[in-house]
Amino acid sequence: MKVVLAITGASGSIYGVRLARQLANDPRVELHLVLSRAGERTLFEETGIRAQELRDLASFSYPFEDIGCRLASGSYQTDAMVVAPCSIQTMSAIAHGISSNLITRAADVMLKERRKLVLMVRESPFHLGHLRSMVALSEMGAIIAPPVPGFYHKPETVLDLVDHSIHRVLDLIGCPDANARRWDVEGGGRRMGRSISGTDESSRSQPGEGAAGNDDLHLGAGDDDQ
Ligand SMILES: Cc1cc2nc3c(=O)[nH]c(=O)nc-3n(C[C@H](O)[C@H](O)[C@H](O)COP(=O)(O)O)c2cc1C
């Protein structure tokens, strides 16, 4: 499948890095990459990684200003687009159809062609205008997926937290990672699933087993969408 990954200048460029690496290693995926100018800068500020390093991973990469390239046309068929991280500027532009660069144009194409668009919007706090833009985007069919960490998988490192959000986004675009940890409770309350630390989840503390137990996280069977 053809996946467009856009990295913009919001904090959290590590989400873009992890997604790029994951998608580049997935034989099902042809990765099309675009970074905004601010995205390149924030990437370097936060991770020390240069944009070229990510471009080298992608099947194809495109200049931010190239509003004439194939991603800018609805006639070029792609399957999904993820903006990770997505700045407020880019999110707001997409919400209002302002397509002055390749990222906002490609996102507009996804919306008009009714294709999957996932925005990992990163800002805090949000003002009413931000929230209204997110409502508008949701109404247009975009999926707003801010990188808000969950803790039910017992993360041990920052990357555990990052990858948890990444795995949820991969699920959303129909590219699930077989190694993703999932909340899965059998009828008897036994927790299953791959552990990030490599141990089977069932060997960890169970609900009600003292301080490490997760009484509050005991969900119904099959309810893994938190
Ligand atoms: C280190 C750094 C962190 C930033 N963090 C955020 C952020 O979390 N959210 C956001 O919307 N903008 C953030 N910005 C500001 C954006 O980079 C700025 O609004 C930029 O114009 C976005 O452009 P783009 O959408 O074309 O990438 C940050 C900038 C820098 C340099």
Residue 208's pLDDT band (cuts 50, 70, 90): very low
Domain with CATH 3.40.50.1950 in the chain: 2-172
Q: What is the reported pTM?
A: 0.86
Which protein residues touch ligand 1 with a CB less than 6 Å away? 8-11, 36, 38-39, 41-42, 45, 87-90, 122-123
Closest residue by Cα to atom 7, ligand 1, is 10
Instruction: Provide Rg for the chain, Cα atoms.
Output: 18
209 DSSP 8-state letter: S
What is the DSSP code string of 45-71? HHH---HHHHHTTSSEEE-TT-TTSGG
Nearest in space to 42 (alpha carbons), one of 11, 64, 17, 14: 11
Angle at 223 between CA 222 and CA 226, to 5 degrees: 145
Decide: helix, strand or coil at residue 200: strand
Residue to probe by mutation, ligand 1, list 15, 35, 42, most atoms within 8 Å of CB: 42
**What fold characterizes domain 2-172?**
Rossmann fold (3.40.50)
pLDDT at 24: 98
Q: Which of 58-72, 132-146, 181-195 has the lowest mean pLDDT?
A: 181-195
pLDDT at 1: 98
Closest residue by Cα to atom 28, ligand 1, is 10
Q: Check whether 189 has a pLDDT greater than 60.
A: no
What mean pLDDT do residues 69-97 have? 98
pLDDT tens string 9-48: 999 999 999 999 999 999 999 999 999 999 999 999 999 9
